Homo-oligomer: A and B are copies of this chain.
Amino acid sequence: MAAIEFNIVARDGDARAGRLMTVHGEVPTPAFMPVGTRAAVKAMAPDELWSMGYRMVLANAYHLAVRPGEELVAELGGLARFMGFRGATLTDSGGFQAMSLAALNSISEDGIRFRSHLDGAPFMLTPERAVEIQERLGSDLMMALDECTPYPADRDRALRSLELTARWAERATRARRSATQALFGIVQGSVYPDLRRISAAQITALPFDGFATGGVAVGEPAEQMREVAALGASMLPPEQPRYLMGVGTPSDLIAAVAMGYDLFDCVLPTRNARNGSAFTSAGKLSIKRADNTRDQRPLDPRCACRTCTTFTRAYLRHLYISGEILAARALTEHNLFFYGSLMRGMQAAIASRTYREFAAGTLARMAEAQASTAEG
């Protein structure tokens, strides 16, 4: 029995467009999930995310277990309701946090022992506990606890890591209780194709509802990331949802959808926004640059978002330089609008079997504009 239903409604090459059916509604795929680590997508109101077409957002189980605690979220109606979002939610387990805060944490067969990033208090995350937290949070898609193998890792280290992830994955599948929440397994194996194959075989043998390629976009070269991602997609069951974790730039997403991935998350549109960087149809734009000082154009003349229909680059630069909260808001809204439009564009292109043309056209426009910017 699958906790969620996934229907592929169109294919174009390896790319697919689908519908993920959750108890919190339908999620059209390929879908990008804005990152709301602590049950809030930074600077955004949940109805704005909905208006931009987002039907699923991501939060972090470890962060929420530390604060405000999964019991409180459960008492308040579960994650989506807690954050006032009408759509679905996915929770990451905390494996990535174990890697990124490695100095604070230690990993054993049992699980990950965290020192809380808030107060240093010990916090033990086992595969069973990770499922329990996520079931209480009430997310629609739960992720099995993995060891997110750091980069670089030598073969031995990567092999031990994927074996541990496999044992944890098996424990996670035994721990789950919820009939309405999906549980996804995560493939590791670092940048080694043979190890990726071993991990994929182990993880896909388990009764998961969907599968993720993990341990990518953790510092390896961009080209290697894409090779690993492509190999990863090819080894996942064709009828189940495929999630490429932590990816990526607009061009990464275009490439990954062509490989057959359905779900994505990344901090880039939100974090870059807070750092003054906008994604546009003409490539990236740094709002703090002096050449925006008197620029009366919107961030992206092709964009219909509130930021682009209201503000000039000159004003946004003033806001950013002045440290106004509105700068973070406005750029985040634009970037998420841009990502949302990109995903809808890909969905439509797959449906009309013009994905190759859509991808080539979009990438060419970005590259061309960046080249003329570099010259100019």
Residues on A lying within 8 angstroms of B by beta carbon are: 38-40, 42-47, 67-68, 72, 75-76, 82-84, 293-294, 296, 306, 310-312, 314-315, 318-319, 321-322, 324-326, 328-330
Contact = CB atoms under 8 A, between A and B. Distances in A.
B329 A294 contact: no
B72 A293 contact: yes
Nearest to A312: B76
Given A42-B324, A322-B38, A72 B329 contact: no
A68 B306 CA distance: 23
A315 B44 contact: no
Given A68-B318, A72-B314, A310-B45, A328 B325 contact: yes
B306 A47 contact: yes
Nearest to A71: B294
Nearest to A310: B84
A40 B314 contact: no
B326 A42 contact: yes
Nearest to A332: B325
B310 A44 contact: no
B329 A45 contact: yes
A76 B314 contact: yes
Most buried by B among A44, A314, A328: A314
B312 A67 contact: no
A42 B306 contact: no
Most buried by B among A40, A76, A293, A296: A40
A321 B119 CA distance: 13
Contacts of A330: 45
A46 B329 contact: no
A79 B321 CA distance: 17
Most buried by B among A293, A294, A315: A315
Nearest to A274: B325
